[in-house]
Amino acid sequence: MSMTKLPKLPSIRDLIRIYNLRAKQQLSQNFLMDKNITDKIVHLAGLELENSLCVEVGPGPGLLTRSILDKGAKNVVAVEKDPRFVPTLEQLQDASNGRFGVVLGDMLEIDHGEIVRRGLSLESNADKHIEAFDHVHLLGNLPFSVATPLLIQWLHLLTARQGIFTSPNVTMSLMFQKEVGLRIVAPASNTERGRLSVVAQSICDAFKIYGVPSSSFVPRPKVDGMVVQLRPLAKPLLKSSLGTLEHVVRFSFMKRRKMLARIFKDWDPKHIALLEECEIDPTLRPQDVTTEKFCNLAQLIEQRGIQLPQ
């Protein structure tokens, strides 16, 4: 048997039935059952196979995990919050030829050191640091209810180069609900443009790699899914702390239909000058401002120590 192919395993449908894994709505459990779809996601994610760590968030019964392993990934660590999936994931671990490990925990709270240690334990002769891997791939059919907080947390870790983001090359291929995915990738002047677009694009190149209709999930959610890939920019546009940029866009998008001149005048008429200093046309609405200009504005506000309204 090939070292990088999984042996024949029971179907995900059968596992769900045998272990009585009824989906829990509070954990946003909407499972993918079609291996063609999970294989396609992994194919489009473009995994580097040599010396890389794949971190999957929320493997559930494990179909996406199977596709990652079938692709030939040698080091896969999955973080799952729901202990009911441990038996099925342990089965996959046994079948993986030492290529897969599970960490039970909440991805929002987990110590990334635990993920890295689990990954390193799969490798023989590996250093004891994340730098031992040339690439880190973060993948997941994310729980929709916490997908945005997870992404925001990862963007903060990426700017600080902490946790699994200490690696020089990190690629994220993540399933969001379509509306959130469209926001993340929306360029300036797109109708979907919002806070998340600016914050994500200040440090990452973000683009859609795949659309997944709601009918592909079990149980079927009310919304479609969209897989977005985020790759850190070689030269980030962000020049302030990410927190300051978040604050600037939160404030600016609070009245998204109004012109920036009006938004800034309502705050304090003297602050309209900040827009001019950053060469931002004050007659624009927030969604029409480029990510670069928002980053310049955040930099200026931070440098001057100006307090934005809460």
Q: Provide the binding-site residues for ligand SAM, judged by CB under 6 A.
A: 27-32, 57-60, 63-64, 79-82, 106-108, 141, 143, 146
The distance of closest approach from Cβ of residue 132 to ligand SAM in the complex, given in angstroms and rounded to an integer, is 24
- Bridge partners (DSSP) of residue 79 are 57, 103
Residue 55, helix vs strand vs coil: strand
- The least distance separating ligand SAM from the CB of residue 104, rounded to whole angstroms, comes to 9
- Residue with nearest beta carbon to ligand SAM: 58
Annotated binding residue 305: no
In the complex, least distance from residue 202 CB atom to ligand SAM, rounded to whole angstroms:
25
Give CA–CA dist 108/63, Å, rounded.
22
Task: Name the one residue in this structure whose structure tokens are 């012109």.
Answer: 259
Q: Is residue 292 part of an annotated ligand binding site?
A: no
Which residue lies nearer to ligand SAM by CB, 31 or 251? 31
Cβ within 8 Å of residue 301, ≥6 positions away: 240, 244, 248, 274, 308
Q: Is 114 annotated as a binding residue?
A: no
Among candidate residues 85, 77, 84, 38, the one with its CA nearest the CA of residue 57: 77
State in angstroms the smallest separation of the CB of 146 from ligand SAM. Answer: 5
CA distance 296 to 51: 37
Q: Is the dihedral of CA 207, 46, 34, 122 positive or negative?
A: negative
Nearer to ligand SAM, 30 or 197 (CB): 30
Whether residue 58 is annotated as binding a ligand: the answer is yes
Is 80 annotated in a binding site? The answer is yes
Residue 30 annotated as binding?
Answer: yes
The nearer residue to ligand SAM, 24 or 129, going by C-beta atoms, is 24
We find the least distance from the C-beta atom of residue 116 to ligand SAM, in angstroms, to be 16
Supply 19's token pair.
């272990």
Q: CB of 152 within 8 A of CB of 249?
A: no
Annotated binding-site residues for S-adenosyl-L-methionine read 30, 32, 58, 80, 106, 141
